[in-house]
Amino acid sequence: MIIDEGQNKVSAWISAVRLRTLPLALAAIGMGNLLHFGEFGFRWEILVFGMITTTFLQVMSNLANDLGDSIHGADSGHRKGPKRAVQSGAISREEMRTAVGILALASLASGICLLWMAFRDDWHAAIPLFVTGLICIAAAYFYTNGKKPYGYRALGDLAVFVFFGLVAVLGASWLQAKEFSVLEILPAAALGFWSTAVMNLNNMRDVESDSLAGKRTLPIILGPVNARIYHFALVLGGILLLLVFALFKNAVWVLGAFPGCLLMLKTLPQVLKNKDYVSLDLLLKPQALGTFFAVIGMALFKLFFGS
- The pLDDT, as a whole number, for residue 157 is 96
Better-predicted residue by pLDDT, 179 or 253? 253
Does position 275 have pLDDT exceeding 90, yes or no?
Answer: no
Asked whether the beta carbons of 91 and 9 are under 8 A apart, the reply is yes
Better-predicted residue by pLDDT, 74 or 254? 254
Does position 273 have pLDDT exceeding 90, yes or no?
Answer: no
Better-predicted residue by pLDDT, 139 or 280? 139
- Interior/surface letters 175-206, b for 16+ CB within 10 angstroms, e for the rest: bbbeebeeebbbbbbbbbbbbbbbbbbbbbbb
Which residues are paired to 216 by β-bridges?
Answer: 153
Asked whether the beta carbons of 205 and 80 are under 8 A apart, the reply is yes
Determine which of 83-87, 173-177, 182-186, 187-191 has the lowest per-residue pLDDT on average. 83-87
Closest CA to 118 of 56, 171, 166, 191: 171
- Mean pLDDT, the chain, rounded, equals 90
**In this structure, what DSSP letter does residue 184 have?**
G
What average pLDDT does this structure show over 213-217? Answer: 88
- The pLDDT, as a whole number, for residue 11 is 87
What average pLDDT does this structure show over 143-161? Answer: 92
Rounded to whole angstroms, the Cα distance separating 27 from 191 reads 8
| Banded pLDDT at 3 (limits 50, 70, 90) | very low
| Banded pLDDT at 6 (limits 50, 70, 90) | low
Better-predicted residue by pLDDT, 235 or 274? 235
What average pLDDT does this structure show over 12-20? Answer: 88
Rounded to whole angstroms, the Cα distance separating 48 from 39 reads 17
CATH code at 2-305: 1.10.600
DSSP string for residues in 223-286: -HHHHHHHHHHHHHHHHHHHHHHHHHHT-GGGGGGHHHHHHHHHHHHHHHH---TGGGHHHHHH
- The pLDDT, as a whole number, for residue 5 is 56
pLDDT tens digits, residue range 50-72? Answer: 999 999 999 999 999 989 888 86
| Banded pLDDT at 2 (limits 50, 70, 90) | very low
Does position 196 have pLDDT exceeding 80, yes or no?
Answer: yes
What average pLDDT does this structure show over 41-48? Answer: 94
- In this structure, the chain runs to a length of 307
Better-predicted residue by pLDDT, 1 or 42? 42
Closest CA to 61 of 170, 157, 138, 155: 138
Tell me, rounded to whole angstroms, the distance of Cα 252 from its chain centroid: 26
Does position 98 have pLDDT exceeding 90, yes or no?
Answer: yes
Does position 307 have pLDDT exceeding 60, yes or no?
Answer: yes
